[in-house]
Amino acid sequence: MPSAWSSLLRTLRDASGALPAAAGDAWDLALTWTSPIDLGSVWRAGGEIRIPHVVTAFEHDGPLFLRVGQLTPPQLPYREDARPSQLYRLLDRRLVCVDDGRILEPTQDHPLRWVLPCGGGVVMHHPEWRPPHRTVVRVDDLDRGIYVQPC
């Protein structure tokens, strides 16, 4: 999809905030076809970045770390609803919770779509017919977000 239309769809999705599961899934599907976002120089250098939109599509080949529920510095070290963050690794067609070693099962409707058990969001991996592959991440915990880093 052209970048202007992609930008419009991302802006509309960001403005709609948290949605019920079915509506969120419909937006996920629509935003899968948006043009991928360039995550910037920190990402290209191997650094960790916060996913910039509620639903973000980006291109990446190789393993990927996802940190869900990372508190931002002004909120540290105390917060009423403080929960530990969770670290996941997406490697090829497998999502693993690094904290406890669990291999997460994909959803029944799509073999490369995972609902994160921590409640932080959804990850979809789309191997394209040629690299680079596309990853789409939906952030459900908007306060704490999801951070990604290439492995």
- Taking each helix axis from N to C end, the angle separating 21-32 and 3-16, rounded to the nearest 10 degrees, works out to 170
Contacts of 38 (CB under 8 A, 6+ apart): 58
Which domain, by its residues, includes 28?
3-150
Taking 80 as the threshold, does the pLDDT of residue 130 lie above it? no
Angstrom distance (rounded) from CA 102 to CA 100: 6
Does pLDDT of 146 surpass 80?
A: yes
Report the alpha-carbon distance of residue 66 to residue 68 in Å, rounded.
6
Answer yes or no: is pLDDT of 144 > 60: yes
Bridge partners, residue 59, by sequence:
134
123/80: higher pLDDT: 123
Q: Determine the pLDDT at residue 84.
A: 75
Task: Provide the whole-model pTM.
Answer: 0.86
DSSP 3-18: HHHHHHHHHHHHHH-S
Residue 133 confidence (pLDDT): 85
Number of domains in the chain: 1
The H-assigned helical ranges of 17-148 are: 21-32, 41-44
Question: According to the model, what pLDDT value does residue 151 have?
Answer: 85
Q: Residue 22: enclosing H or E segment and its boundaries?
A: helix 21-32
At 49-99, the pLDDT tens digits run 999 999 999 998 889 999 998 765 555 555 555 567 899 999 878 999 999
Q: What is the pLDDT of residues 4-59, one digit of tens each?
A: 999 999 999 999 888 888 888 888 888 888 889 999 999 999 999 999 999 999 99
> Predicted confidence band at 132 (pLDDT cuts at 50, 70, 90)?
confident
Radius of gyration of the chain (CA): 15
